[in-house]
Structure 1
Amino acid sequence: MPWITLALRTTTPVFNGEHDQHGATIRVPSLRGAMRYWFRALAGTAAGDDLRLLAALEREVFGSTDRQSPVVLRIPDPPGPADRAEAKFLNMPGGEHIQYLLGQGLYTRVKDARQRPHEGLTRDFVRADTEFHLDLRFTPGTSEAAASLALASLWLLCTYGGLGARARRGFGGLRITGVTAGSLPGDWTPDDLTTPGPAYYENLDRLTADHGALARHHAWLAALEAAPDDVTTRTAPWNGARPTYPVLGGHTAVALHPTQTTWPALLLNAGREWRHFRAGEHPEDGGRPHTPEYRQTIRGTSDHFPLGALGLPITFYDPATRNKDTVEVRKGTESLRRASPVWFRPVGTGPRMRLFSFAFLGAFLPQEDKELSVRLGRRTLTVTDQDLRDRASTWLETMRTGGTFTPANRER
């Protein structure tokens, strides 16, 4: 089958290399992995808690260890890495809030006053506003449904998600800007596949797959060989239960911040707000903010740890004693990660971008897996599904109204 060529553009820096690795670029395996994530979020609207069915549907579209994927991808002109000195967004006033979003995996605090902040980056990156092309081809015999679902997964990735490290915190944004060659399968049109602008997000109250050709996603899922006969009737399989993995639809919530500006300014403000939101308590004298959970749980007797709903592990460091206290998810003796349910990303182009936030309001941990627990050393802590909903809803409502978590007596 002939190749389809799509024009793409990065909207924020993409960190897609290994630790301290030079030569970062946009890689097909990373792109395919992100497409799989969004395919599961889409297919979960029909598969529900039937994880075997979910895996079978994914296997039919993206392949597995024993089955070749019918979707072939290539990037003929992969963008090269930027010199780390080009990370001028880290040198701007307030750049420490962007450093905070990058996290310890991507940024090491610069302690030497002779160093510029960008020297703290631990990885190369692909610049924002970098153009490249993606070629897609479907192997002979690929069904129209499988091809359509592969494009749906790419559209979701570029509309809601991101690529590489810290995609949940606004990095790795991509936009599909057009179709430059080839014919799209099924009902897809170039306009449907192009990533929408901010006006699209203004009309959302949840993450949806009802845009253009995506409105047919249930019919596409039903047409896959692995789909059972009743898959088209499973329009709301999670009624009465919270999804145990990210799923589009009713168990999501969204917000679009009213401010329009450049992506560095958006992420700087988002980092400042997220930092103060997580801190929780701020002394009236403008001193160091206090996390209630540190006082009540880490150093207190409470076993309730609602902050964990925003992602684990969390490590508290006491500079006076140099003690580190880590709250984490464990399965037996194995330490696991619980990713944050809250995402944000700049949407739009140029100086008129806006911050789009969303959250997956599913189960914090699958209740049926009795081996999973939240632990602080030998202590078992409690993080509830309601904690997740409350924390995420508070963030989203404040972002939607243009409010702030930053105290008035603190530098903005």
Structure 2
Amino acid sequence: MNLVIEITTPIFLGGSDARQLATLVRIPSIRGQVRYWLRAVLGRRVGNDVAALKTAENNLMGHTGASSLVRFQVQEGKQLLETADRYMLPHRQSGNKIMSETFAEKQRFLLSITPRPGLKTIPDEILAALLLWLNLGGLGKRARRGYGSLRCVRATAATDDVSPDKLALFTVKSEETLSDYLSRVLGWVQAAMPAQPLAEWPEYPILLPEYTAVLVSQRTYPSQQEQGTPVYEKAMVPFWHEFLRAHPYLDDSAYGYADRNGRRASPFHWHIGQTKMGYQWVFTTFWSQSVRQYDSRRNWQKVNDLLTAIADEAEGKWVWQHVAEVYDGR
């Protein structure tokens, strides 16, 4: 299977030397993202059995004693991807805006995924993880805050690798809205990966409607390049000003923390999607037990409040709406 991937927002992605940008999009970085979303998919089947999760993941993606069922390969065009300096915090109007080298937006590369010799098809679990990564996630630093967003603009495959109906899931149809497209993708994942009911809250991010929210802002931002400010910033900066950097949401531990009491990655994934209508915000949030017990209710309520504000003030449309009660640590 060959996927032509377009960079929607800049990728902050280092090489083996973290001080320098890689000369191409690195396979280990892609595999890491696919593994993250694969765990969210496999959790539908194994629930909170972390040992079973590890076994299922290793059987698909490989481990020390066995190779992966699929091979990933990246091919740029005739030249290596161009780099450009971009601000990591573009909402700042003055002072230290923290500029860093990136793979610049609007470029494309080819991602090839092939079954291991002896296998004819790519497993549905890996197809599901790829779809979720490309449409809800990102690549590189700040990927949960809108950077490194990607989209598939063309998908081809030998019939034996991926069936035509599954291949069609990787691209938006000309008449589709972004929310309709995501509904189609998530609907297929649900049908292809039947879920077991959970008796308690997930211990890690699991793609279940009861514990996952997917919200698409119906606002659109122009995606045509103009002179001056990078075009993606027109879609990115308003969210920082109106929500993440605005009272009462400013610098809240609900969005992740690292301190002497431990650390937790943000449960919140902000992806910038693109269709012929322009850029749109896509927000995915996973509810789980991976939060400090003593303030879990406040944390999850803060996340609820933020999503509600986005839905109300930014014309948000729920593709999936989290329905479980706020976790109280009991």
TM-score range, shorter chain: 0.7 to 0.9
Q: Deviations over 1:47-77 (max 9, x none)?
A: 1011111111111110011111121111122
Q: TM-score scaled to structure 2, two decimals?
A: 0.79
Which residue in 2 is equivalent to 1:130?
Answer: 107
Which residue in 2 is equivalent to 1:66?
Answer: 65
After TM superposition, the structure 1 = structure 2 runs for residues 203-222 of structure 1, keeping only pairs within 5 Å, are 209-211=186-188, 215-218=191-194
Which residue in 1 is equivalent to 2:226?
Answer: none
Name the CA distance, whole Å, in 1 between partners of 2:37 and 2:298. Answer: 25
8 Å CA contact 1:23, 1:80 repeated in 2: no
Which residue in 2 is equivalent to 1:248?
Answer: 207
The alignment status of 1:260 with 2:220, answered yes or no, reads yes
After TM superposition, the structure 1 = structure 2 runs for residues 364-375 of structure 1, keeping only pairs within 5 Å, are 364-365=290-291
Q: CA offset at residue 387 of structure 1?
A: 2.3
Which residue in 1 is equivalent to 2:253?
Answer: 308
Unaligned runs of 5+ in 2: 223-231, 316-330
Q: CA offset at residue 260 of structure 1?
A: 0.8
Output the amino acid matched with 1:329: N
The alignment status of 1:393 with 2:301, answered yes or no, reads no
The alignment status of 1:342 with 2:268, answered yes or no, reads yes
| SS in structure 2 of the partner of residue 383 of structure 1 | helix
Q: CA offset at residue 261 of structure 1?
A: 0.3
Q: TM-score scaled to structure 1, two decimals?
A: 0.64
Output the amino acid matched with 1:273: E
Structure label with greater radius of gyration: 1
Q: Pairwise CA RMSD of aligned residues? A: 3.1
More strand by share: 2
Change (3 A) 1:187 1:362: farther
Q: CA offset at residue 264 of structure 1?
A: 1.5
8 Å CA contact 1:97, 1:269 repeated in 2: no
Change (3 A) 1:9 1:269: same
Output the amino acid matched with 2:307: L
The alignment status of 1:272 with 2:183, answered yes or no, reads no
8 Å CA contact 1:148, 1:186 repeated in 2: no
Which residue in 2 is equivalent to 1:182?
Answer: 158
Task: Find runs of 4+ consecutive structure 1 residues off by over 6 angstroms.
Answer: none
8 Å CA contact 2:204, 2:290 repeated in 1: no
Change (3 A) 1:214 1:390: closer
Output the amino acid matched with 1:383: D
Q: Deviations over 1:299-336 (max 9, x none)?
A: xxxxxxxx3222102xxxxxxxxxxxxx4433xxxxxx
8 Å CA contact 1:329, 1:338 repeated in 2: no
Q: CA offset at residue 236 of structure 1?
A: 3.6
Which residue in 2 is equivalent to 1:162?
Answer: 138
Which residue in 2 is equivalent to 1:286?
Answer: none
After TM superposition, the structure 1 = structure 2 runs for residues 198-237 of structure 1, keeping only pairs within 5 Å, are 199-201=177-179, 209-211=186-188, 215-218=191-194, 235-237=195-197
| Range with bigger deviation, 354-363 or 268-277 | 268-277
Which residue in 2 is equivalent to 1:354?
Answer: 280
Name the CA distance, whole Å, in 1 between partners of 2:95 and 2:277. Answer: 29
Q: CA offset at residue 186 of structure 1?
A: 5.0
Which residue in 2 is equivalent to 1:320?
Answer: none
Q: CA offset at residue 12 of structure 1?
A: 0.9
The alignment status of 1:383 with 2:295, answered yes or no, reads yes
Task: Select 1:121's aligned residue among 99, 118, 123.
Answer: 99
Q: Deviations over 1:115-134 (max 9, x none)?
A: xx6xx323x21111211111
Unaligned runs of 5+ in 1: 101-108, 112-116, 219-234, 282-288, 292-306, 314-326, 331-336, 366-372, 375-381, 405-412
8 Å CA contact 2:172, 2:181 repeated in 1: no
Name the CA distance, whole Å, in 2 between partners of 1:394 and 1:403. Answer: 14
Which residue in 2 is equivalent to 1:10?
Answer: 7
8 Å CA contact 1:148, 1:185 repeated in 2: no
| SS in structure 2 of the partner of residue 242 of structure 1 | coil
| Range with bigger deviation, 29-38 or 177-186 | 177-186
Change (3 A) 1:358 1:179: closer
Q: CA offset at residue 360 of structure 1?
A: 0.7
| SS in structure 2 of the partner of residue 353 of structure 1 | strand
| SS in structure 1 of the partner of residue 139 of structure 2 | coil
| SS in structure 2 of the partner of residue 33 of structure 1 | helix
Q: CA offset at residue 170 of structure 1?
A: 0.6
Q: CA offset at residue 13 of structure 1?
A: 0.8
Which residue in 1 is equivalent to 2:119?
Answer: 142
